[in-house]
Structure 1
Amino acid sequence: MSRSHTRHELSQLESNLRIEIGKLAQSKNISLDTQSSSRCELIVLLTQAGLCEHPLFSQITQVDAAVCQLDIGLYGLCSDCENEIEAERLDINPVEQRCTQCAESHQHEHRQELRLTH
């Protein structure tokens, strides 16, 4: 996937998330300017509104991370081992942060943490 294609996909994903975040804010009677705020401002506004636990917050932060990685030339590298993330994984989810092996390890560790805390 080319860099411009990736940037376009991330932009589309961000646009869709901004619409959904706007609907969420409206349903909770929270004033958020989702269209003119930068991604950083939007993340801060969501944090201040107490929506950090909402899946849309996680999704917009993942988009922000992927765009930042693209800007500095690190897009597609695993956040854990720094090897390349498989192209198929990025085709499925352009904000993927881990290669298959590290994702499986992370998921296993997370399950263990859940068992220990519950």
Structure 2
Amino acid sequence: MSHPQIRHELSKIETNLRIEIGQLAERKQIGIDSQGTNLCELIALLTNAALSDHPLFSQLTKLDAAFCQLDIGLYGLCSDCESEIEPERLILDPVEQRCALCAESYAHEHRHELRLTH
């Protein structure tokens, strides 16, 4: 995919996330302007509202990282090993941050951490 195509896909994800975050803010009755702030400000607002454990927060931070990576020419590189992320992974999830091997390792480590805390 070309950079404009990738940016377009990321923008579609951003639009949907902003809608979902706006709906979440309404349900929680918190004053978050999901449309009138940039992604960094939106991340800070969600953090201040104690919503950093919400799945939308994770999606938002991955989206912000993907935009930043695209801007500096590192989009599609694994955040752990810096190898290219498999194209099929990026097609399924354009904000994917890890190659298959590192994603598996991360998931395994994360499961291990969860077992240790319980």
Q: Normalised by the shorter chain, which TM-score bucket? A: over 0.9
Amino acid at match of 1:37: T
Query: 1:6 corresponds to which residue?
Result: 6
Amino acid at match of 1:25: A
* SS of corresponding position for 2:88: helix
Query: 2:48 corresponds to which residue?
Result: 48
Query: 1:103 corresponds to which residue?
Result: 103
Instruction: Count matched residues.
Output: 118
Amino acid at match of 1:110: H
Q: Which runs of structure 1 show a deviation greater than 4 angstroms over 4 or more consecutive aligned residues?
A: none
CA distance in 1, matches of 2:53, 2:112: 21
**How far off its partner does 1:110 sit?**
1.3
CA distance in 2, matches of 1:17, 1:72: 23
- What are the Cα deviations for residues 74-104 of structure 1, in whole angstroms up to 9, with x where unaligned? 0000011100000000000001011011111
**How far off its partner does 1:57 sit?**
0.8
Unaligned runs of 5+ in 2: none
Q: TM-score scaled to structure 2, two decimals? A: 0.97
Q: What is the percentage of aligned positions where both structures have the same residue?
A: 69
- What are the Cα deviations for residues 43-96 of structure 1, in whole angstroms up to 9, with x where unaligned? 111111111111111111110000000000000000111000000000000010
For 1:51-90, what aligned pairs fall within 5 Å after superposition? 51-90=51-90
**How far off its partner does 1:24 sit?**
0.4
Q: TM-score scaled to structure 1, two decimals? A: 0.97
The CA RMSD measured in Å over matched residues stands at 0.8
**How far off its partner does 1:105 sit?**
1.1
CA distance in 2, matches of 1:54, 1:81: 27
* SS of corresponding position for 1:13: helix
- What are the Cα deviations for residues 23-54 of structure 1, in whole angstroms up to 9, with x where unaligned? 00011111111111010111111111111111
**How far off its partner does 1:113 sit?**
1.6
Unaligned runs of 5+ in 1: none
